[in-house]
Amino acid sequence: MSEPDNNNKFGFDIQDYFTDFGGKFKARLAAVIPTQFRAESALAPTSAKYNCKAKVEYDKELMRLVEEGMLLAVRNFKSRDDVARFTLLEITRIWPEHFGLRGLSDGSYYPLQFEIIDQSVSDWESDDKATMLVQINSIPINYDLVIKNDEISYVKGFTYPIIAEKAHILNRDLINRMYNGKILENIPAIVETSAEARKDPRLGTIKMFELDEAKIPIYVSFEDLIRYHFGIFAFTGGGKSNLLSNVLRRILLHTKDTKVIIFDISCEYSFLLMDLFTDPDIPSKILLESRVADVGQFYASVVKPREFEKDQRVLDAFRKIMNLERVAFYSKRRVRIPTYSQCLGEIEVLRKDSLGKPHYVNALDDITAFILSYVEENNLYDTMPVSREFIDELDQIAQRAVQQYNVHDKSGVYAWATTRQNILRQFEECEDDDSPQTDCVTDDVLIQLIEGDTRLICISISDAADIKDLVIYLTGAILQRRKRRFKVKPEILFVFDEAQEFIPDFAGSSGIDKVCSRAVERLLRQGRKYGLGGCIATQRIAHLNTNALQQLHTYFVGTLPRPYDRSLISNTFMIDRSILEKTLEFAPGEWLLSSYIATGIENVPIFVSADNSENELVRYLSQ
């Protein structure tokens, strides 16, 4: 006797939305178990509210066909006669169970144990549904699938599913529409998906239905990915640089005028993006920390994967980059005009040292009040360099304050207040500091490149202090220019590879490290209003600035072997810990992708296989 189908009354063909793998998948929701919350620490990993268990009739093919990360749909209590409504669940674990082995006790007679185990081997090759079944654990993704009049929609929120109701697996077509539908509406029609970056803007494929010859591609909105910031987190060997270069390549090839600035402290992206640096249609520049005399020095300065180290074609490609005059060196200014915020910072230090002397504090407060009012009255920003006129007025106000409050002439406050005119010398030195060399890029030239036609700039400087100083200057300068002009286009993506160097936690940093972390955080907080985005890529997030991490709306998570790192990601980005544990099984190039805005459906974790960036380089070198 066939089992009645409770969904026929809704008037749609179940196979249009779900798959049973040719009748092999027959499942029922067995239990919905509330999760026990135990917050042992502030960084305890996040857990889903419920753990949903399904039981599936055994079929030996199921362990090959059903994959973790697939989505189940179970009819819920909001479903009506005219509207079919299903709670969506993500599979977190699947395993087969044998009745005989389950009842086997360690206290049983040893020969009997071995006999039962030996006999069970042949059972797995059968389809004995009386002896075996398949168990599935899943968690809600906090969306309902609603089907009405053959139209589908997704409603955010959790609805309690009906226990003992059928559990269905979403088919590949519905998965494609769910994750890519909204994205594909805004990009040119794609006849056939391809791993080649110039043909298809996809990032890779979804890790579902992988036995099928046709894979399900995964697309993201590049505009939202950039403007709302994204992060890439994986341990050494996880493919972090490969994925990042893959994303950047597609952004530059499939957007009209987006600009990318890479702070490349590892000096590897000149190689990873060499096909773009030789592309005449993409204006680009590579900045090194010192001048290179020939292609041999340039080649030696760049880190390359082992399999490409002796490839003569790479040397030829680097020669082409140099012939296009796309390699220069960064000339750091000997003198840089201080900003209003630096003046306020100096006063704050003096104030902390003078808390025991109220009249010193009063003098410094008067000077602070003048600086703040000057910035406000002149419609300035505290990150702007000071002007000559400001220094003249500051000098008068500061000297008047130390005299009025009788500040001792041997004190640090007095010395600071009476030496402001010395800053004027820095203006003269800066005017004489411009280099005439054509392959030399100064701060001002770099700003001109960014605001000009150049779309890709790779700053390959391995000296940590120099590149951090440049991060502080560039992020502040570009942000203030956008604010002044109320400009949001073109979008500019700032890429911070090895982000632990640029956004360390405030508690464990000081000096330029702390200033740099604050500068990047400010960019991430304020940049989205002005078309400025950020990418954070790192192998260790445990000691990063969490305020900066919380600004990320999209994240790619690879293998992170340290439990603390996984807990921090779970807590910061609200990803269930059982989903994150799956990343420990990832091969290089496999990622957990989740986004609040850049994917077709909001904040639903997706297991993906990224297209291999090195294949693009092989194609390029083989031309």
Identify the pLDDT of residue 422: 86
Range 99-116 average pLDDT: 82
Give the total residue count for the chain: 623
- Half-sphere exposure of residue 185: CA atoms within 13 angstroms, side-chain side: 7
For residue 188, is pLDDT > 50? Answer: yes
Among 25-39, 173-187, 251-265, 583-597, where is mean pLDDT lowest?
25-39
What value does the mean pLDDT take over residues 120-137? 89
Residue 557 lies in a domain: yes
- The answer on 456 and 427 residing in a single domain is no
Given 3-state DSSP classes, what are the helix, strand and coil percentages for the chain, each rounded to the nearest 5?
40, 20, 40
The answer to whether residues 149 and 256 belong to one domain is: no
Domain annotation covers residue 204: no
* Domain-located, residue 577: yes
- pLDDT score for 175: 95
Q: How confident is the model at residue 55 (pLDDT cuts 50, 70, 90)?
A: very high
pLDDT digits (tens, 9 = 90+) for 407-431: 999 999 999 999 988 888 777 766 5
* 114 in the same domain as 80: yes
pLDDT tens-digit profile of 276-312?
999 999 999 999 988 888 999 999 999 998 889 888 9
Q: Is the same domain home to 152 and 244? A: no
Give pLDDT, residue 11: 67
Instruction: Report the pLDDT value the prediction gives residue 436, as an integer from 0 to 100.
Output: 46
**What's residue 7's pLDDT?**
47
Does some domain include residue 199? no
Q: Over range 387-395, report the average pLDDT.
A: 91
Q: Which pLDDT score is estimated for 122?
A: 86
Q: Is residue 198 domain-resident?
A: no
For residue 345, pLDDT over 90 is answered with no
Residue 303's Cβ-count burial label (10 Å; 0-12, 13-18, 19+) is middle
Q: Which two three-digit tokens encode residue 117?
A: 């185990």
Place of tokens 């604050």: 518
In tens, the pLDDT along 462-511 reads 999 899 989 998 998 899 888 878 888 999 999 999 999 999 988 877 88
What percent of the chain shows pLDDT beyond 70? 93
Residue range 316-325: average pLDDT?
Answer: 94
Q: Where are the alpha helices (DSSP H) in 186-289?
A: 222-227, 240-254, 269-272, 274-277
Q: What is the mean pLDDT of residues 455-461?
A: 96
Whether the pLDDT of residue 338 is over 70: the answer is yes
Claim to verify: residue 90 and residue 170 sit in the same structural domain: yes
Q: Are residues 171 and 70 in the same domain?
A: yes
Mean pLDDT (whole number) for 617-621: 94
Q: Are residues 22 and 119 in the same domain?
A: yes
Query: What torsion, rounded to 10 degrees, do the Cα atoms 480, 484, 488, 493 define?
Result: -10
Which residues on neighbouring strands pair with residue 96, listed in sequence order? 134
Q: Using only the alpha carbons of the chain, give its radius of gyration.
A: 30
**Do 16 and 130 sit in the same domain of this protein?**
yes
**Residue 345 burial (CB count, 10 A):** 14
Q: What is the distance between the alpha carbons of residues 21 and 169, in angstroms, rounded to a whole number?
A: 9
Q: What are phi and psi of 532, to 5 degrees?
A: -110, 120
Based on the fold, state whether residues 486 and 584 are members of the same structural domain: yes
What mean pLDDT, rounded, does the chain reach?
Answer: 89
Domain assignment of residue 197, yes or no: no
Domain edge (last residue) among 431, 466, 493: 431
Contact 402, 350 (CB under 8 A): no
Domain identity same for 320 and 423? no
Question: Do 348 and 385 fall into the same domain?
Answer: yes
What pLDDT shows up at residue 383?
65
Question: Range of 408's domain?
Answer: 340-431
pLDDT above 90 covers a percentage of the chain that reads 61
Q: What's the whole-model pTM score?
A: 0.84
How many domains does the chain contain in total?
3
Q: Among the listed ranges 53-57, 104-108, 200-204, 521-525, which one has the minimum average pLDDT value?
A: 104-108
The answer on pLDDT for 101 being more than 90 is no
Question: 247 pLDDT band (50/70/90 cuts)?
Answer: very high
Q: Residue 329 corresponds to which tokens in the numbers above?
A: 């060196």
Take residue 376 and report the two structure tokens written for it: 């406000």
229 contacts 551 by C-beta, under 8 angstroms = yes
Mean per-residue pLDDT, 327-346: 80
Note whether 548 and 518 are same-domain residues.
Answer: yes
Min mean pLDDT across 344-353, 378-387, 432-441, 510-519 is at 432-441
Least confident stretch, 126-140, 354-368, 505-519, 578-592: 505-519
In the prediction, which pLDDT does 430 show?
A: 63
Asked if the structure places residue 108 within a domain, the reply is yes
CA distance linking residue 548 with residue 231, whole number of Å: 11
189 assigned to some structural domain: no
Name, of 117-121, 209-213, 486-490, 556-560, the range with top average pLDDT. 556-560
Closest among 65, 69, 124 to 93, alpha carbons compared? 69
Do residues 210 and 67 lie in contact, with contact meaning Cβ atoms separated by under 8 Å?
yes
Instruction: Specify the CATH number for the domain of residue 240.
Output: 3.40.50.300
Give the end of a domain, one of 404, 431, 458. 431
Q: Which of 431, 457, 477 is the last residue of a domain?
A: 431
Residues whose CB falls within 8 Å of the CB of residue 563, separated by 6 or more in sequence, listed in order: none
What is the band of 6 on the pLDDT scale with cuts at 50, 70, 90? very low
Q: Examine the pLDDT at 43 and tell me if it is beyond 70.
A: no
Buried-state track 214-233, b at ≥16 Cβ within 10 A, e below 16: ebbbbbbbbbbbbbbbbbbb
pLDDT of 29 above 90: yes
Higher pLDDT, 191 or 118: 118
